Structure 1
Amino acid sequence: AEKLRKKIIEKTKKEVKEKLGGKEGHIVKAINMLEDLDLTFNMLFEAVRDWYSLHFPELFKLVKEPEKSLELIANLTTREQFSMENILRYYGNEALAKELEAKAKESTGAEISKENANQIKAIAKKVLEIKECREALSKMLEAEMLAEIPNLTKVAGAFLGAKLLRETKSLKRLAFLPSSTIQLIGAEKALFKHLRSGTKPPKHGMILQHPLMRKVKREHRGKMARALANKISIAAKADYFGKKDISSALIKELEEKAEKLK
């Protein structure tokens, strides 16, 4: 009984380590953190925009990029500071800077107290710091993945590759999955709905996030998803069984396939 207990414990330890051990575990935690940072950034940006719109609503109609509008708020803050000279320090579009200056002078927004302006300024700076953290983590994740699983990273992309690892729990499991299963990872709800109520079966899951999927015609997405799943499966096997980089050949075939399906 004691021998059996030890064997079970050892087997369990091995399985736990295999599932999300070492580098793979860090990759999954990093992609989770990236998604959390994106959600946090978007939520806080919306809050800053809602509050600052009371003072200068026209800013967000002219400046569409969240980071740029936050940078202007963090550095200029009140409408009185939106001179063309000041704007151009943080936003290099001369025509838009001129328009912003004009809108600041004739804004429909309300006046703002020094206390409120300082609070919005401080929060805008913190939100920008979150974005900086996100970008640094993104670079680290990609570098780590290229070092550990180069084929999967280059074929699927760092973010999609990390998400596939998260869903399958390990590189080993991903490498041994049939490509038809890889194709539908992330489409579990749609698949269950199909099985339960006879709706159309899903043609792809999170593989839809791959840049090449946006290059093909909508009616050809199923074919492109199959091709991608097949190459991702080959890439995962190449990484699991050795470190030979075969990604260039796989990417070339995928790009040729996408070209045919345009």
Structure 2
Amino acid sequence: MTTDESVPETASRAWFAGGDENPPADRVRDGDADTPADWPALAVASGFATDDENYYAKLRDTTVEAARAAVDERERADDRQLLHAVRAMDDAERVANELAERVAEWAGTLFPDAGTGVDGCHDLAARDSEGPAEERVIALASRVVDLDSEADELETFIESRAPVAAPNLAALAGPVLAARLISLAGGLETLAKKPSGTVQVLGAEDALFAHLRGHGSSPKHGVIYTHEYVRGTRPEDRGSASRALAGKLSIAARIDHYSGDYRPELEAELDDRMRTIRARAGDGGAASDDGGATDE
């Protein structure tokens, strides 16, 4: 690159300028300019490009490289790892249960005392085979056991990583529900930008769309139903509990994304609000042991 003093000083701050350790792709991602400039002409004058066409070809290659680097960096972020982990956990559990049904049906023709479900597969996997058919059933049961174990290990991973990626969200929702909310939203940043009303019904999209088409009532909660503060509250108060929880979860997601510092007062505020909601019932507002007769 030329060092001709006639080259405008603006070019020395351009994305294509040399003289520092940052590659052009990094300068495209992180750089800025105080005022607009004729960048193709500056690039030609500085010796970076032979003409305008050559400049734009190099610009395209550099921006593509910068975009790829940004995508790679984003995919390695903690919240993205949680997203993939919780989806993998759900897939492992779903496939294990589906395969366990097949194993139970087949094993019932070979072992009169064969159990059912994933637990039944654990028992079958410990047996010795006495023929080709039994060998295949036992091998299939072993695959179910492996998937079940993998789901448990993924849950352990989520429980260890969620408090790092989203400390406030994990504290309020629990690690698995926090990861599930991040997954449903498509990332922590996206979740942080959603209003609390949307967070409240994440996971209930089918019911929401049915309501919008006039085919059902508006859902009061989505996946946050699994939280004890919703599931464990009597049915008539679950709407209020869902709104209270979703409001704090929205705030937690924003703090986690924009600052990352842990705010224990959020938990205290949520606990206080839930005590008020549950106090509406003479027994404290808790649902019955089966979680209440009505799933709103």
TM over 0.5: yes
Conservation of the 8 A alpha-carbon contact between 1:191 and 1:202: yes
Aligned to 1:72: 123
Cα distance between partner residues in 2 of 1:220 and 1:11: 50
- TM-score w.r.t. structure 2 length? 0.64
Aligned to 1:195: 212
Aligned to 2:5: none
Conservation of the 8 A alpha-carbon contact between 1:186 and 1:206: yes
Matching of residue 53 in structure 1 with residue 108 in structure 2 = yes
Higher fraction of helix:
1
Conservation of the 8 A alpha-carbon contact between 2:167 and 2:260: no
1:105-124 map, 5 Å? 114-124=131-141
Distance 1:17 1:194, change over 3 A: farther
Q: Greater shift after overlay, 156-165 or 2-11? A: 2-11
Cα distance between partner residues in 1 of 2:196 and 2:178: 14
Conservation of the 8 A alpha-carbon contact between 1:164 and 1:185: yes
1:63-142 map, 5 Å? 66-76=117-127, 114-142=131-159
Greater Rg over alpha carbons, structure: 2
Distance 1:215 1:67, change over 3 A: same
Specify the SS of the correspondent of 1:197: coil
Cα distance between partner residues in 2 of 1:50 and 1:254: 49
Conservation of the 8 A alpha-carbon contact between 1:179 and 1:226: yes
Q: 1:257 Cα deviation (Å)?
A: 5.0
Conservation of the 8 A alpha-carbon contact between 1:165 and 1:174: yes
Offset from partner CA, 1:9-65 (integer Å, 9 cap, x none) = 7997798679756112111111111111011101111111001111334443xxx6x
Matching of residue 43 in structure 1 with residue 60 in structure 2 = no
- Among 244, 257, 262, which residue is 1:244 paired with? 262
Matching of residue 153 in structure 1 with residue 170 in structure 2 = yes
- Matched to 1:214, the amino acid is R
Bigger relative contact order, structure 1 or 2, given CA contacts below 8 A and separation 6+? 1
Q: 1:259 Cα deviation (Å)?
A: 4.1
- Among 166, 175, 181, which residue is 1:164 paired with? 181
- Among 22, 30, 33, which residue is 2:85 paired with? 30
Identity between Structure 1 and Structure 2 (%):
29
Conservation of the 8 A alpha-carbon contact between 2:114 and 2:124: no
Q: Which segments of structure 1 move beyond 4 Å, counting only runs of 4 or more?
A: 1-21
Conservation of the 8 A alpha-carbon contact between 2:83 and 2:187: no
The number of residues matched between the two structures is 224
Q: 1:136 Cα deviation (Å)?
A: 0.9
For structure 2, the residue ranges without an aligned partner over 5 or more in a row are 1-37, 41-55, 280-284, 287-296
Cα distance between partner residues in 1 of 2:220 and 2:74: 27
Distance 1:251 1:223, change over 3 A: closer
Cα distance between partner residues in 1 of 2:76 and 2:273: 31
Cα distance between partner residues in 2 of 1:47 and 1:35: 19
Offset from partner CA, 1:67-105 (integer Å, 9 cap, x none) = 432222122357xxxxxxxxxxxxxxxxxxxxxxxxxxx
Cα distance between partner residues in 1 of 2:236 and 2:202: 20
Q: 1:188 Cα deviation (Å)?
A: 2.6
